[in-house]
């Protein structure tokens, strides 16, 4: 059996359960593409899986390879795949229930793979899929954000947040973002109309009549968000299901948003936005895959600007 280098976990636990080691190279099944991974990223989801927080939702078995994002080149085609050829440069979000992209190779369903944005290098391209698919699911599919509407984005400097800001601006919305003081200029550079330092300002004292709130933080940030919505507005959370009872009491709507199954059509639309200069990922830290434990520790601090990327191959 051909092998590859991968980061695997053999049990749930802290960052020290992540092991860079030999693993069997995946064989692409029917309708799948084997991608040679050039870069991947860390998402909070990976840390949650590693810690065992998602064991009740996914039927994982060990050893398990994490990693939702991939940019790389098509290495091999499974039976029935006709829309890719070996050597094509692609990007994708792997199926969260399967082995992921912390590896030299990953097998992904072709329906979830798209051509990599031409204007991005591998590191930048890997920063896009999970966060952009999530922001798209929330702002475009759930909220149908429209020109002239106002959206408050919590955690606007983070992985999802910094992409959500740009998607919202592309839709013509007025965007208010929250971050700590050191990230306010970063938010302005992304195009926010108003940047709020959550460490010094209670956002609910300054935001009124928002059509949409995107909550990437949860807890009391979510609780304090109801009052900023206009009647009929919507609170979207990526983190915890908002209370339907509280939504009704405020005359607004709520939805817990899941990234959903990756869709090559959406990834293709997102790549077009990137290549048109409407969306640019920020990668604040690049580490080799061998430094995965450090990457997880950094991510868990929850103060990353944009994304942490992992270089897998040149």
Ligand X SMILES: NC(=O)c1ccc[n+]([C@@H]2O[C@H](COP(=O)([O-])OP(=O)(O)OC[C@H]3O[C@@H](n4cnc5c(N)ncnc54)[C@H](OP(=O)(O)O)[C@@H]3O)[C@@H](O)[C@H]2O)c1
User: Which residues form the interface with ligand X (CB under 6 A)?
Assistant: 43-45, 131, 134, 154-155, 157-161, 178-180, 183, 198, 216-217, 221, 238-239, 257-259, 299, 302-305
Nearest CB to ligand X, comparing residues 27 and 241: 241
Query: What's the count of helices (H) and strands (E) in the chain, helices before strands?
Result: 10, 16
- Shortest Å distance, C-beta 34 to ligand X: 26
Q: Residue 82 CB, nearest distance to ligand X (Å)?
A: 31
Q: Toward ligand X, which CB reaches closer, 73 or 239?
A: 239
DSSP 224: T
DSSP string, 123-164: HHHHTSHHHHHHHIIIIIIIS---TT-EEEETTTTSHHHHHH
Q: Which two tokens stand for residue 98?
A: 């399967």
CB of 8 to ligand X, least distance (A): 21
> Would you say how long the chain is, in residues?
314
- Which helix (H) or strand (E) segment holds residue 299: the answer is helix 292-300
- Cα–Cα distance, 114 to 264 (Å, whole number): 5
Sign of torsion, CA 289 295 299 305?
negative
CB of 218 to ligand X, least distance (A): 7
Q: Which CB atom, from 49 or from 312, has the smaller least distance to ligand X?
A: 49
* Cross-strand pairs, 286: 309
Can you read off the two tokens belonging to residue 53?
């927080």
Residue 72 or 158: which CB sits closer to ligand X?
158
Decide whether 17 or 133 has the Cβ nearer to ligand X: 133
- How near is the Cβ of 155 to ligand X at its closest, in Å? 4
Half-sphere exposure of 136 (CA within 13 A, CB side): 21
Nearest to ligand X of 78, 218 (CB atom): 218
Q: From the CB of 98, what's the least distance to ligand X, in Å?
A: 16
Q: CA distances (Å), 152 to each of 92, 136, 208, 211, in order?
A: 28, 15, 10, 8
Which position's Cβ is nearest ligand X? Answer: 158
Query: Minimum distance from CB of 296 to ligand X (Å)?
Result: 11
Of 124 and 216, nearer to ligand X (C-beta) is 216
């Amino acid at each position: 059996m051909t092998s590859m280098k991968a980061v695997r976990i053999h049990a749930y636990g802290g960052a020290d359960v992540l092991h860079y080691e030999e693993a069997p190279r995946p064989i692409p099944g029917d309708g799948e593409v084997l991608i040679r991974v050039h870069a991947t990223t860390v998402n909070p989801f990976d840390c949650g899986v590693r810690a065992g927080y998602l064991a009740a939702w996914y039927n994982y078995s060990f050893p398990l390879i994490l990693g939702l994002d991939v940019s790389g080149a098509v290495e091999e085609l499974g039976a029935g795949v006709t829309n890719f050829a070996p050597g094509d440069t692609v990007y994708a979000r792997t199926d969260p229930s399967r082995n992921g992209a912390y590896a030299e190779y990953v097998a992904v369903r072709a329906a979830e793979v798209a051509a990599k944005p031409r204007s991005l290098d591998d590191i930048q391209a890997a920063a896009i899929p999970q966060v952009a698919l999530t922001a798209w699911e929330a702002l475009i599919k759930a909220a149908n954000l429209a020109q002239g509407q106002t959206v408050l984005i919590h955690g606007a400097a983070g992985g999802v947040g910094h992409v959500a800001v740009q998607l919202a601006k592309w839709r013509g919305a007025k965007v208010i973002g929250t971050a700590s003081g050191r990230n306010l200029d970063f938010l302005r550079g992304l195009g926010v109309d108003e940047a709020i330092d959550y460490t010094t300002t209670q956002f609910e004292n300054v935001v009124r009549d928002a059509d949409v709130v995107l909550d990437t933080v949860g807890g009391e940030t979510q609780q304090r968000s109801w009052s900023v919505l206009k009647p009929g507005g919507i609170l979207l959370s990526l983190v915890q299901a908002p209370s339907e009872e509280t939504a009704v009491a405020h005359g607004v709507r709520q939805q817990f948003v899941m990234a959903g199954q990756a869709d090559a059509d959406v990834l293709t639309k997102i790549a077009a936005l990137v290549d048109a200069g409407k969306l640019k990922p920020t990668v604040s830290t690049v580490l080799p895959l061998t430094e995965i434990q450090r990457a997880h520790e950094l991510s868990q601090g929850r103060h990353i600007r944009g994304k942490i990327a992992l270089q897998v191959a040149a």
